[in-house]
Amino acid sequence: MEQNSLFDDRSTAGPLADRMRPESLDDYAGQKHLLSEGKILRRMIDRDEVQSMIFWGPPGVGKTTLARIIARCTKANFIIFSA
């Protein structure tokens, strides 16, 4: 009988947070007043009319994730800057 290992599958090699990170606006939790269908930021993203933005807040709330989703959905240039 073959022994299965918890550590053989390379598809689960990254941190859980990276593997579970939302990849679309529909998967993103929160900010529904801005990101739901028809709302201001969602319309800007859908039309590729996003201007420069600064996301501010405590660590772990999804600022970078949202920025990456917006960059992926538009022709935006995504620059990581930590001050």
Per-residue model confidence as pLDDT tens digits over 5-63: 666 555 667 899 889 999 999 999 999 999 999 999 999 999 999 988 888 999 999 99
Q: For residue 79, tell me if it sits in a domain.
A: no
Average pLDDT over residues 58-70: 93
- The pTM is what? 0.76
pLDDT range class, residue 3, cuts 50, 70, 90: low
Q: For residue 48, tell me if it sits in a domain.
A: yes
Q: Print the domain residue range for 68.
A: 10-73
Q: What is the pLDDT of residue 39?
A: 96
Q: For residue 61, tell me if it sits in a domain.
A: yes
The answer to whether the Cα torsion of 44, 45, 50, 56 is positive or negative is: positive
Mapped onto helix, strand or coil, the DSSP state of residue 81 is coil
CATH number where 67 lies: 3.40.50.300
